[in-house]
Chain A
Amino acid sequence: MLRFLARRTLGAIVILLLISAITFFLFFALPAEPARLACGKNCDPTSLAIINKNLGLDQPVPVQYAKFMVGIFVGRDFAVGHCDAPCFGYSFVSQEPVWGTIVDRFPTTLSLAVGGAAVFLVFGVGIGMIAAWRRGTWVDKFVSSLSLLGASMQIYFVGVLCLAWFVSGLGIMEQPAYHSVTDNPAKWFSGMLLPWLVLSLIFMANYSRMTRSQMVEQLQEDHVRTARAKGLSGRTVFFRYAWRGAIAPIVTIFGIDLGSLFGGAMVTEYTFTLHGIGRLAVESVQLTDLPMLMGVMLVSAAAIVVFNILVDAAYAFIDPRVRLA
C-alpha cells in the first residue's frame, strides 16, 4: 500500500511538473509580450519596460520558469518586495499575490463542491438503485427518461431559469451567495442551496444512469444468483451482494468529478455569481491575467491528480481483488 502510494505520488509530481511547464511556456512564451497584456490597450514603452522589469519578464522564458517553480516552494523576491513560500507571483491586474487570492476564493468552491457532491451522490445513486430494484416497471422507465432529460440540461440554462423563477419570481429561495460556514451556518446553507441543487441536477442524471446499469449488470452475476439460491432475502442480496460489486466504478467517477469540482465549477459559479476558483479563472481569462490563470490552473490540476490517487487507493478497500503493487 505504502509503495503504491509512493509510486503514484511520484507519478503525480511528474504530471504536475509537465502540466506546469506546458502551461507556463504556452502562457509566457507564445504571446509576443505578456507585459503588453498586463499593460492594457493604451500602453506606452516606459510603463511596458517597468512592468517587464518588475515581474522579471525581461529574462529568458526557461529562467522565468525555473524562478517561478522555485518560488512556489521557497518564496521569491520581486522588485516590489518579498513573496512568501507558496509564491505564484502577483496578479497583472490587481497586483495582489496570486496565492492569497486563491486561498481567499477557495472556501466558496469547497462549499459548492462538497455540498453539491453530497446531494448528487445520495440522490443520484439512490434513484439509480430504485430504478434497478424496479427494473422494467414504469418507475424504471420514468426514472430513465428523467435521467436522459437531466443529462441533457445545461447549467447555464437551468440555473438562470431557477434564478428567474425561484429567486426573482416566487422569492422562495435566497439569492445565491457565499457566507462563511463558521459565522452563520443557516445563511451559508440558504445561500448555497440553489447552486447545490442545480449543480447536482446535472450530475445526478449521470450517476443514476450509471448506478442503474451497474446494478443491473451485477444482479445477473453468478455470485448474486448463488446468494439468491441460498435463500437470502431480496434486500440482503441487493444491498450486500450486488451493491458491493456495483460501487467500484461509481467511486472512480465520483473521485474524478470531485477533483474537477475542487478546481472550480466555472459555469455554476459564473451563473450564480459565486466568487470561487472557477469564477476567478474566468475573470482572469477575460482580463488576460496570466499569473492568476497559471496559479488557478496548477491548483486545479493538483486537485484532479490528488483525487485520482485517492480513488485508486479507495479501490483497494472496496474491491479486495485489486492488489496495489
Chain B
Amino acid sequence: MTSPSQTGVVEKAAPAAEGGAPPGLAPRQLMWRRFRRDRTGMVSAGVVLFFFLVALLAPLISTLYGKDPYTTYGLDRPELLDPLTGYPMKPNGGIDGEFWFGIEPKLGRDVLMQLVYGIRTSLLIGLAATVLSTVTGIVIGVVAGYMGGRTDYFLGRLIDLLLSFPQQLFFVAFMPVVTALFVSPQKETPTYFRVTALVLVLWLLGWMQLARLLRGQVLSLREREFVEAAKVTGASPWRIVRKELLPNLGTPILVQATLMLPNFVTTEAALSFLGVGMVEPTPDWGRMFAKGANFYEGDITYMFFPGIAMVVFVVAFNLLGDSVRDAMDPKTTR
C-alpha cells in the first residue's frame, strides 16, 4: 500500500504546483506507470477487456456473423444433424466455415452465438454482484471500523454468522426461495427475474470478506495523525471517511474486487450447471457446461469452447489481480 501520509501530501501539494514545474507524480500515475511496465499485467488486462467487449458487443457480433443464439439451425436444416443420434453430421461438433464453433447437438443452435451471449449474461450477473458486494463491503467495513464500539461488535458478529453459512449450499438453496418469494410456483419465472435473483443471492453472501478486511484497515488508519489532524480542524465524519479514509483504501478494494468478479462468474456458472441458475432458452456460460455434460459421450467438442474460454478468463483475471497488487504495492514479494 502507498503510505497514507505520502498520499495526503502529494494530493494536497498537487493543486498548488499546477502552474509551475511538474510536482512529481501522483500515486495514481506512479501505479499506472508501474502497471504499464508489467507485460503480464498488460496482456491479461487486454484479455479481460476482450471478454467485456465481446459481452458488450454481442448484438453487433450477432449481426456481423449473421446468426443468433436462439434459432435452431439444426432442426430447420435436417442435413446438419444426424437424424438418429442428434449429433452434428460433420466431425468435430460440426465446425465449418458457416458455424465457426460448430452446432449444438439435438437443437442445432450455433455454438459461437451461444457462447457470446452466454458470456454476456454471466458477466452481467458477475459484474452486478461485484458492484453491489463491493459497495456493501465498503459501507459495512468502514462503518464498523470507524464507529467502533457496539456497532463494530454487532457488525462483526453478523459477518461471523454469515461466514459460517455453508456458502455453496446457501447459493443453491436460496435460489428457489428468492424466486418463490416473488413469483408464484404456477407461473413461468421471467428471465430478468432469474437474473435479479442470482445477483441477490450472490450479493448476500459476497460482501463479508471485503468488509472484514476494510474494517481492520480502518481501525489502524483512524489512529493515524492525518485523520486526527482532520478531526482537529473540525472535519465531519463523512468528510473524514470520504477524503481521508477512502483514498487510502483504494488498493484493498480494487484487489478484492478483481478477485471477486471471476469468483462470482464461476459460481454463477456452477449454479447454472447444477440447474438452479439460468435456464433455457437464455444463453448462459454455465448452462453450456450442463448441456455439454449431457453430450460428452457423443460430442465433446461442444464443451471445449465454453470451457477453454472460462479457463482463459479466470487465468487472465487472476494474473491481472496479481499485477494490480504489484503495481499498487511494490513492496510485496511474490
Contact = CB atoms under 8 A, between A and B. Distances in A.
Chains A and B are bound partners: yes
Interface string B75-105: 0000000000000000000000000000000
A154 B315 contact: no
A11 B311 CA distance: 40
Contacts of A278: 169
Interface in A294-320: 296-297, 300-301, 303-305, 308
Contacts of B333: 216
Interface string A32-45: 10001100010000
A156 B170 CA distance: 19
Contacts of A301: 164-166
Interface of B: 160-161, 164-170, 172-177, 180-181, 184-186, 266, 269-270, 273-276, 286, 289-290, 292-293, 296-297, 300, 303, 306-307, 310-311, 314-315, 318-319, 333-334
B287 to A, nearest CB: 11
Nearest to B294: A160
A286 interface: yes
B173 A32 contact: no
A216 B219 CA distance: 29
B173 A31 contact: no
13 contacts: A19-B165, A36-B185, A37-B180, A152-B311, A154-B289, A154-B310, A168-B296, A266-B168, A270-B274, A288-B180, A303-B166, A304-B164, A305-B164
Interface of A: 15, 18-19, 23, 26-27, 30-32, 36-37, 41, 148-149, 151-154, 156-157, 160-161, 163-164, 168, 213, 216, 260, 263-264, 266-267, 270-271, 278, 281-282, 285-286, 288, 293, 296-297, 300-301, 303-305, 308
Given A270-B274, A282-B172, A164 B297 contact: yes
A163 B164 contact: no
Q: Provide the main secondary structure of the chain B interface.
A: helix
Q: Provide the main secondary structure of the chain A interface.
A: helix
A260 B315 CA distance: 25
A32 B184 contact: yes
Given A266-B274, A282-B276, A156 B269 contact: yes
Find the residue from B168, B181, B292, B319 having the highest chain A CB count within 10 A.
Answer: B168
B166 to A, nearest CB: 4
Find the residue from B185, B306, B310 having the highest chain A CB count within 10 A.
Answer: B185
A163 B303 CA distance: 12
Contact of A148 (B293, B306, B307, B315): B315
Contact of B169 (A27, A263, A288, A308): A263
B186 A18 contact: no
B161 A31 contact: no
Contact of A31 (B181, B270, B276, B318): B181
Contacts of B315: 148-149, 152
A308 B266 CA distance: 26
A297 B164 CA distance: 12
B311 A282 contact: no
Nearest to A144: B334
Find the residue from B160, B165, B170, B173 having the highest chain A CB count within 10 A.
Answer: B173
A154 B303 CA distance: 12
B164 A161 contact: no
Nearest to A301: B166
B175 to A, nearest CB: 7
Contact of B177 (A31, A270, A300): A31
Q: Which 5 A-B pairs have the closest CB atoms?
A: A152-B314, A31-B180, A157-B307, A300-B166, A164-B296
A41 B185 CA distance: 7
Contacts of B161: 15, 18-19
Contacts of A288: 176, 180, 185
A281 B174 CA distance: 11
Contacts of B173: 23, 281, 285, 293, 297
B172 A285 contact: yes
A80 to B, nearest CB: 24
A213 B334 CA distance: 7
Given A30-B177, A41-B186, A19 B310 contact: no
Contacts of A19: 161, 164-165
A76 to B, nearest CB: 22
A219 to B, nearest CB: 12
Contacts of B300: 161, 164
A300 B310 contact: no
